[in-house]
A and B are shown apart, each in its own frame.
Chain A
């Protein structure tokens, strides 16, 4: 799933490690999220969205490609 995590992180002047510490996940998870290789749990998605003062759908971009469950 595409997301605006890297853009918002840089905009807020956070390093990957700082963002990881804020939402209590590993730095590797942040890297995977930014690369779009990992889709977060709903709880993590909420934590990230709240951190940037956004709604989940403003942070994670659900596209038609996601409809393909395969």
Chain B
């Protein structure tokens, strides 16, 4: 198995792992919803996570499985995804997003430390939810923005 085929085979395996994990998680979510309907927790979140994983798995399989049989499409896929400039742009974007993410989390950590001594209001309830949402959305925005900018400039 050459390097390219082995890379695609790994992606197909990853697709199966996501798919199986998704089915299991969704199944656990549905079972929990039926058996523990009295519990103060929305089990649909678990089912939703399972469906998301199934989607990712199916996406991987659709994209890479046909490439295992077709040399031309395998070549196109590997060039698309392993192109060194594309990889560099993604790595750079990931690095920037990581720095922003770490800074936000560090800010949260400091805020919590000050809040525990009463210097600042506590991060709780809606404020905590909003802060965590910012911690997810801002690094993602930085990642996407960085890719778009670098694709134009490099």
The finding on whether chains A and B are genuine partners in a shared complex, rather than unrelated, reads yes
- Check: B119 CB closer than 8 A to any chain A CB: no
- Check: B83 CB closer than 8 A to any chain A CB: yes
- Check: B35 CB closer than 8 A to any chain A CB: no
Chain B interface size range: 10 to 19
**Chain B residues with CB below 8 A from A40, complex form:** 84
**Chain B residues with CB below 8 A from A37, complex form:** 153-154
Q: Quick one: given A38-B85, A44-B84, are A25 and B79 in contact (CB under 8 Å)?
A: yes
Number of A-B contacts (CB under 8 A): 33
Please report the C-alpha to C-alpha distance between residue A63 and residue B78 in the assembled complex, in whole angstroms: 33
Nearest Cβ on chain A to B92's Cβ, whole angstroms: 12
**Chain B 51-86 interface mask (CB, 8 Å, partner A; 1/0):** 000000000000000000000000100111001111
A-B contacts, 20 of them at CB < 8 A, read: A21-B75, A24-B78, A24-B79, A25-B79, A25-B84, A25-B85, A26-B79, A26-B86, A28-B85, A28-B86, A29-B83, A29-B85, A32-B85, A32-B154, A37-B153, A38-B85, A38-B154, A40-B84, A41-B84, A43-B84
Binding site for A on B (CB under 8 A): 75, 78-80, 83-86, 151, 153-154
Binding site for B on A (CB under 8 A): 20-21, 24-26, 28-29, 32, 37-38, 40-41, 43-44
